[in-house]
Structures are given as C-alpha cells and as structure tokens.
Amino acid sequence: MAALRVADLYGLFTNRRLRSAGVKNLTTRPALAPCTLALAAALIAACGGGGGSRSLIQNKGSDTLVNVAQAWAEEYAALRPGTAVAVTGGGSGTGIAAMINGTVDIANSSRKMKDSEIELARGNGNEPIEFVVGYDALAVYLHPDNPIDEVSLEQLAALYGEGGDVDTWSQYGVEVPGCGSDEIVRVSRQNNSGTYVYFREAVLGERRDFRLGSRDMHGSKDVVDLVENTPCAIGYSGFAYATDHVKMPCVRKAEDGDCVSPSVDSAIDGSYPIARPLFMYTSGQPEGAIRDYIDWVLSDEGQCIIYEKGYAPRGDVDCS
Amino acid sequence: MFEATAQNRRNRKVEGLFRLLFLWMTCMLILPVALILGVLIVRGGPAISWEFLFTQPMNNMTAGGILPALVGTVWLVVVALIASVPVGVAAALYLSEYAPDNRLTRAINLAIINLAGVPSIVHALFGLGAFVIFFRFGTSVLAASLTLAVMTLPVVIVATRESLQTVPLAFREACWNMGATRWQTIRKIVLPNSISGILTGVILEVSRTSGETAPIMFTGAAFFLPFLPQGVLDQTMAMSLHLFVISTQVPDVPEHMPFGVALVLISMVLAMNGISIAFRVYLRGRKKW
C-alpha cells in the first residue's frame, strides 16, 4: 500500500512537469529505483551507526572450535565493548588458507599447520605463531540401544579403514535392537574437516585411507544427530556434541590396555587415545587488541568457557 | 446429422483426460510452496517476536534474536543492487538499443548466458580471489555484495533486455523521425515504457540475493558478529548463513529457531517482492497501448 502511494506522488510529480513542458507522456519516467536504493542505504547506515571507534578482530577456521570461538567472542563483547571479534567457521583448512593469504587475524585450527603451509604463509609475509587454546576429545558415538560399551582403536580401524572387513554388528558378536539389517552404518565427516583428518591420523594412521561407503556429514552436530536417530549407526565427533540420546563407549588404545572414557580429565592427562590439542594461529607475535584477546582466551576466564563447552582446558583451572 | 460419432466422443474423453492431467500437474506445483509456507508458519511462527527481530543473539546463538543477521542481509541486498542495477540496465540498453548484430554482440550474449549458468560456489571462489584478496576489500559487505552482484547481473540484463524489446519499434521510429537522438529516445520513450519489466529483473535479483549462502560464506558473512556493520568494509552476519549455521553447526538450538529464521527470511523476500509487484502493476496500468 505504501509503495502505491509513493508511486502516486511520483506519478503526479512527473505528470505535472511533463505537462507544463508541453509533452504528452506515455507513462511515468524510470530512475525511481536508484533513488529508493540510495535512500534505503542511507537509512540502514543511520541505524547501524553510533558505535564509535572499535577494533575488529577477524577470527576464522575450525568447525570444531567455532562454537567455543563464538562463546569467547560473545563473552568478550560484553567484557570489552571496544573490541569486536568476528567469528567465521568453514573448517581448519579454511582458517589456515586465510592465514596464508593474510585475510584473517586469528586462524582457528584443530590440527597443527603443516610445514608446507607455514612456508606458504611466510612467503606471503605472514609468520604464523601457534597457541594451544585447549584440547578436544573425539568421542565414538553409538545409538543408546546399542549394547557395545567399549571399542578399541584396532576395531575402529577395521571398520573405517581402507581394506577393513567389518560390515555387520554380528561380526562384533552383538545384535543391535532396531537394526534389522545388521549392517553397520558408518558415519564420517567430509574430507576438509579437521575432525576427519585427526580421526584418520589417530585411528587409521597417516598412510591409511578411509574406506568408501560411509555417510559423510558436514558438521560435528550432524554426526550426533544421525547416530541418535539410527540404531545401526556408529560415528565419531567432538565429545562436546554429546547429548543425552547417544552413547559414548570407552576407547582402548591397545587390545590389552585400559579402556578410557572420553572426559575432560582423560583428555588433559593424555590417557584418552583420541584427544588432540586445539590451536589458534596469529600472523606474527600478536599486539594490541589481538594480544589482549589471546591473553584473555588463555586466562582462567577464557579457559573456563572452553571447559563449559565440553572441551578440555590447557591446564588446571578452577571453574566452580 | 450433427449427432456425435464414436470418434467425437473418444476425442472429447481424451481431451478431458489431458485437461485433468495438466490441472493435476499444476496443482503439484503449488503443493511444495504451500507445504513450505505452512510448515514454516506453524513451526516458526511461535519464535517470532519483537525481541527475536531486534536483539542480539545470546547463549551461543541458542537464545536472543537475529538483529545482526537481519540488518546484514539488508546491507548485502542493497549494496548488491546499487552495484548491479546500473551496470545491468546499461548493458541491456546497449545490447538492445545500440548493438549491431555482429560477432562481438553474439559473443557478449553467449557470455551472459554462461555467466547465468555458473554455480554459486564458483562465484564464491571468484569473489574470494578477486574482491577479497586481489582488490584487498577483505572479507566485507563490499566484497560479498560485489560477488552477489556479479552473480545476479545476467538476471538483470536478460530481464531488462526482454522488457526493452517489448516496446514497439513504431514508438522509437516516431521519435527518431522527430529528430531525436538514440539517447533522447531511450530516456523519453523506451525506458518509461519498459520500467515494469526492469523492475521484474530487480525483484528476481532481490529474491536471489537475499537467499544465497555460498557466495557470501567466503567473502563477507560471519558465523557470529557482536555488532551491526557500520560501513561497507565491515564484515556482517546474514540470514541465510545464520540459518545454515544454527541448523548444522550449533548444538542445542531450540527447534523453533531455525524455522523462525527461515520464516523471517521468506517474509522479507515476499515483502520486498510485494512492494515491487504493486509498483509494477501500477506502472503497467498506465500503459497507453
């Protein structure tokens, strides 16, 4: 309705102008669209303004870290209104590529930068500095009806690895209620995810590839969601993503070793076999606002946030 | 003498069958639209509130509102329009009013058709390489909007050109015979009579721009940003990416939230389209032929 009225006014205006010029016009004139746009732009600019000066930190990378990074950014915005942290996900590879190209202030990664990547970054004048900001324990997820309580790395490798020969739950000697086909649904991640790369390293070994035929999900949460709803499924994902509706078996490093449950404690003390450090990379020694932010992330306050999100902090912190 | 023969009756029966079949197919078309809208309204409706629209996200984006994403999407759409409409309309004017039918023109036409067929993720990577890195705009509203503009340019050009060509040639000839130049003719006759078609192009662009996720993911949209963009060189949140993020990346998002975001996004597009369509209907009503 409002638009019609605006158009009315516009039509009247042009009509009068043209009539006075002695021209019999056929219709109205164009050129309204650009005006409206300029007006709209001015309007939102006015709405968005009023923030004063602030420093902006670009933080990009790992999907595993993205939720913690978001929680840090949210908390920090409340604490220091003068600094804003823009968080973007996309995967560790995305963050590292941005670090190499110099389009990011802090890159999040759930794996160490490779030497070749560090070389590339140096070639562009960016010297990556590494900070360990916490630890991630990958949990193996099962449907709650699944009777299995413990798995070994060897079993996981036989299931996920190339050349593996385990396809059915009965090969593990169990019958899973609700899984009529007996066939194991292997849930995995897309191959640019840090979780995928780390699982391969820790479980299959550097050289061994994943076997084809797994369901590759595009987010840590998707893995858990799928397993939650699929009795036949087994999956792996960060243990921060656990819900009450999935089961996490304990994991054995060697067939005769202890079976360790995924927990913050077992990740810190290194007894849990699939836990890894999480990194932030800055370009050169951080200064100013970036330095302050990193320091805060590593402080007890920042470390308690990563702890609350289900990851393990770098050391002992008291978060009670 | 005029009694229907068996052949007549059979024809009529087949006719009726095909009519039903086509009607059925048309209804099938409406079905998904109705379902999408219905589901969104029923499941997302409860999420919509003043607070949802006008506050910052809270508690890891599982509570609070979507203000930065809402404002961000408006920014992206407006800047993309400012960048693409003048270029698109000018290009269409050249192709329709000036260009001779030669090899260059045919090559340009081919390029436009191909540009329209490029997948959005390829545009995203192009935008990353060109605007973010080469032109050093960084990940910003500007880089994202320009990427969107490049992506939607063919839509604007094709819609504009088609609408320019609906203006009868007699109108132009009458004008030229009065001694008017090409540009005078375009300004006084061609553009005023084709504005409704040009607006259609803009409508299509707005719909497409506000929903695109891939092209802005690498070039300007953030997962989370605790402030509203204050200029074109700021990064921004956007509705489409926010929807993707809270449905796939963030744990423990209440179920109504993604539906609410989708509902707001669709309502926004429908509202913008509605305004343009009303405007267009009004302008078309003023046509004198």
Q: In the prediction, which pLDDT does B260 show?
A: 92
> What whole-number distance in Å separates Cα of residue B228 and Cα of residue A136?
32
Given an 8 Å threshold on Cβ–Cβ distance, is B139 in contact with A58?
Answer: yes
Shortest Cα distance from A258 to chain B (angstroms)?
31
Average pLDDT over residues A134-144: 90
pTM of the model: 0.68
Chain A hits for B171, Cβ within 8 Å: 26
Q: In the prediction, which pLDDT does A315 show?
A: 74
Residues paired with A238 in a beta bridge: A138
B12 burial type by CB count under 10 A (0-12 exposed, 13-18 middle, 19+ buried): exposed
CB contacts < 8 A (A, B): 149
Chain B hits for A42, Cβ within 8 Å: none
> What whole-number distance in Å separates Cα of residue B121 and Cα of residue B119?
6
Q: In the prediction, which pLDDT does A192 show?
A: 67
Q: In the prediction, which pLDDT does A4 show?
A: 38
> What whole-number distance in Å separates Cα of residue A274 and Cα of residue A238?
10
Given an 8 Å threshold on Cβ–Cβ distance, is B226 in contact with A73?
Answer: yes
A50-73 pLDDT, tens digit per residue, is 344 568 898 999 888 888 899 999
Residues paired with B157 in a beta bridge: none
- 3-state SS assignment for residue A186: strand
Q: Which residue among A37, A44, A63 sits closest to B81, beta carbon to beta carbon? A: A37
Given an 8 Å threshold on Cβ–Cβ distance, is B223 in contact with A84?
Answer: no
**Does the structure show a pLDDT above 80 at A33?**
no
Mutation site for A-interface testing, chosen from B163, B205, B224 by largest number of A Cβ within 10 Å: B224
A158 vs B197, which has greater pLDDT? A158
Average pLDDT over chain A reads 80
**The Cα angle at residue B51 between residues B49 and B53, in degrees rounded to 5:** 75
Nearest to B247, CA basis, from B261, B233, B236: B261
Chain B hits for A33, Cβ within 8 Å: 85, 198-199, 202
| A23 band by pLDDT with thresholds 50, 70 and 90 | very low
Given an 8 Å threshold on Cβ–Cβ distance, is A33 in contact with B218?
Answer: no
Q: Which residue among B75, B86, B189 sits closest to A26, beta carbon to beta carbon? A: B189
Q: In the prediction, which pLDDT does A15 show?
A: 38
| A24 band by pLDDT with thresholds 50, 70 and 90 | very low
Average pLDDT over residues A22-34: 39
B289 vs A131, which has greater pLDDT? A131
B121 vs A312, which has greater pLDDT? B121
- What is the CB neighbour count within 10 angstroms for residue A292? 17
User: Are A4 and B278 in contact, with CB atoms under 8 Å apart?
Assistant: yes
Q: In the prediction, which pLDDT does B246 show?
A: 86
Dig out the tokens for A168 from the structure.
Answer: 């059915």
Average pLDDT over residues A276-296: 92
Give the residue ranges of chain B where pLDDT is below 50. none
User: Which of A19-33, A39-53, A199-213, A274-288 has the lowest average pLDDT?
Assistant: A19-33
> What whole-number distance in Å separates Cα of residue B213 and Cα of residue B123?
11
Measure CA B212 to chain center.
9
Average pLDDT over residues A192-204: 81
Q: In the prediction, which pLDDT does B1 show?
A: 64
> What whole-number distance in Å separates Cα of residue A139 and Cα of residue A272?
10
What phi-psi label fits residue B236: left (phi over 0), alpha (psi between -120 and 50 degrees) or beta?
Answer: beta
Share of chain A above pLDDT 70, in %: 82
Q: Which residue among B60, B202, B282 sits closest to A70, beta carbon to beta carbon? A: B60
DSSP secondary structure code for residue B5 in this structure? P
B126-145 pLDDT, tens digit per residue, is 998 999 888 988 888 999 99
User: Which of A15-19, A49-53, A296-300, B15-19 has the lowest average pLDDT?
Assistant: A15-19
Chain A hits for B131, Cβ within 8 Å: none
Reported as half-sphere exposure (CB side, CA atoms, 13 A), residue A33 has a value of: 29
Average pLDDT over residues A199-222: 86
> What whole-number distance in Å separates Cα of residue A319 and Cα of residue A226?
32
DSSP secondary structure code for residue A249 in this structure? -
Average pLDDT over residues A199-227: 87
User: Are A99 and A121 in contact, with CB atoms under 8 Å apart?
Assistant: yes
Q: Which amino acid is at B43?
A: R
**Does the structure show a pLDDT above 90 at A298?**
yes
Give backbone dihedrals phi and psi of A247, rounded to 5 degrees, phi first.
Answer: -115, 140
ipTM (interface predicted TM)? 0.70
Cβ neighbours for B126, distance < 8 A, ≥ 6 positions apart: B147, B150
> What whole-number distance in Å separates Cα of residue B219 and Cα of residue B223?
12
- What is the bridge-based pairing of β-strands B57-58 and B63-64? antiparallel
